[in-house]
Each structure stands twice: as C-alpha cells, then as structure tokens.
Amino acid sequence: MIFEKLLGVTSAFAETAGDAAAAAAATGDAAAAPEMSPVAGLISTFVPMILIFVVFYFMLIRPQRKKDKQVKAMLDALKVTDRICTIGGIYGTVTGIKDDVITLAVGRQNMEMKVARWAIRSVEEVSIENDAEALN
C-alpha cells in the first residue's frame, strides 16, 4: 500500500483489490489475493537487492577502501633507516629507495636485498638509530 500511495496508483489498485475481495467473498475462496500493480511489483523486487548492496558497501567495500588508503600512505611515507617486514616475513632495514624498488639490509652481515615496494607489509616501531645492537 505504501508503494501505491507513493506512485499515485492507489485508485487503480483499490478497484482491483475491491473486485478481487468481492469475488473471493462471493466464492468463499480465502486464498484469493488482490493483484499487485506492475510498478509495485518491480519496486518490491528491487528494494531487497538495493538493501543487500547497501549492507555489502558498509560492511565490505568501505572498510577495504579505508585499509587500502592506510597501506598506500604507509608505503608513500617509507624512508631510509625504517625497519620493515615484508609479506614473506623477512625483516630488514631500508637502505635505499628508488621508484618501486626498495633496498634492504638483512641479517648480521647486512646483506643487500631488493624487494618491490608493494611487498612491504608493515613498518616496525624500532628504527636503526634507536637500538642498533638489538637489530642484528
């Protein structure tokens, strides 16, 4: 009924509903239901789909975009002497940055390793200036 009032088809729906109700009462058929207008049928079909999309947006899409922005900001803020962890679990210290290639010093002998910028998972809180002995 709300859809019909919003769309201005109340009179057509009321006539159809009145005729169907009268016919059902005359025949004693309680299962007969009034017919729905095509516009109301379309709206009642699309409203659940729209609600599902809204729920997916607020529960999945929006948080993922927020996380992607944070990762991009972290990768853009990388600097030499940052202690990082790669997606493969390798810890190292950034010794050089060139475009999308990061040079790391890894292990006690400070072996040089080159990784892609996107392969960095996180920047650790400890930097090389803070505690040089603990890093090796």
Q: How many domains does the chain have?
A: 2
Indicate which CATH number applies to the domain containing 118.
2.30.30.30
Look up the domain containing 38 and give its range: 2-75
7 & 71 share domain: yes
Q: Which one of 59, 75, 91 terminates a domain?
A: 75
18 & 35 share domain: yes
CB atoms within 10 A of CB 92: 24
pLDDT at 21 over 80: no
94 & 118 share domain: yes
User: What confidence tier does 13 reach under pLDDT thresholds 50, 70, 90?
Assistant: very low
Please list, in sequence order, all residues whose beta carbon lies within 8 angstroms of the beta carbon of residue 88, skipping any fewer than 6 positions away: 119
Please write the tens of the pLDDT for every residue from 102-133. 999 999 999 999 999 999 999 998 755 555 55
- Contact criterion met (CB below 8 Å) for 84 and 104: yes
